[in-house]
């Protein structure tokens, strides 16, 4: 039963991804390709996390394979964060010229959330602008039954799922508006 519920959540999340990236298809195909690749990796990770949750705790004999699967999930999740950060950075740069838009500050906050995890993952140092006082400059991976892969940054954790949700929000906020259709009478 738990697996069916989780799979329904994954399908709903994929629909949300498709809705968030669809406006980019015609206006910026390269951005759409990157976002779609992140969508596919997000789906892969969610399915793998679900699979990990369905497995019984391994016997000593199977422990090595269990650790390998967990490590793989953490590694791919870290790479997802690095790629997703670049997309958020591009969105922030594009909207930066229009800083009086309310979405500008929201996208900037999302970028800071990504930086907080990205800096320790990529540079092995604390994020300069986005870190909390307790951050150590290391992002220790962990696995949570509801949140999947997450990182311990000092006294707080940040999940890949929460970053994925934030990226969806940034894509929606910065989506190009579709031109209004002209009426037959020219108005």
DSSP string for 56-100: PPPPGGGHHHHHHHHHHHHHHHHHHHHHHHHHHHHHHHHHHTTTT
> Is residue 74 predicted with pLDDT exceeding 70?
yes
> Can you read off the two tokens belonging to residue 23?
């406006």
Mean pLDDT confidence for 132-144: 84
Beta strands across the sheet bearing 140-144: 140-144, 148-153, 156-159
Q: How far apart are CA 97 and CA 155, in angstroms?
A: 35
Q: How far apart are CA 13 and CA 146, in angstroms?
A: 14
pLDDT, mean of residues 83-92: 94
Q: Is the pLDDT of residue 158 over 90?
A: yes
Q: How confident is the model at residue 173 (pLDDT cuts 50, 70, 90)?
A: confident
Looking at the chain, the whole-number percentage of residues with pLDDT higher than 70 is: 86
Average pLDDT over residues 119-135: 81
Q: Is the pLDDT of residue 185 over 60?
A: no
What pLDDT was estimated at residue 187?
47
Q: What is the pLDDT of residue 87?
A: 95
Question: What pLDDT does residue 118 have?
Answer: 93
Q: Which residues pair with 149 in a beta bridge?
A: 143
Task: Report the pLDDT value the prediction gives residue 98, as an integer from 0 to 100.
Answer: 59
């Amino acid at each position: 039963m738990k697996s069916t519920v989780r799979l329904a959540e994954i399908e709903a999340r994929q629909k949300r991804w498709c809705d968030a990236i669809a406006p980019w298809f015609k206006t910026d195909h390269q951005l759409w390709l990157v976002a779609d690749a992140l969508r596919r990796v997000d789906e892969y990770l969610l399915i793998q996390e679900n699979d990990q949750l369905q497995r019984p705790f391994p016997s000593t004999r199977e422990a090595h394979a269990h650790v390998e699967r967990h490590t793989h999930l953490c590694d791919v999740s870290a790479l997802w964060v690095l790629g997703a950060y670049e997309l958020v950075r591009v969105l922030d740069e594009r909207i930066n010229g229009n800083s009086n838009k309310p979405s500008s500050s929201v996208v900037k906050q999302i970028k800071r959330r990504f930086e907080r995890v990205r800096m320790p993952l990529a540079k092995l140092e604390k994020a300069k602008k986005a870190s909390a006082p307790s951050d150590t400059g290391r992002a220790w991976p962990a696995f949570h039954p509801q949140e999947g892969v997450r990182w311990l940054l000092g006294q707080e954790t940040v999940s890949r799922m929460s970053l994925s949700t934030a990226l969806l929000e940034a894509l929606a906020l910065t989506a190009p508006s579709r031109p209004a259709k002209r009426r037959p009478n020219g108005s």
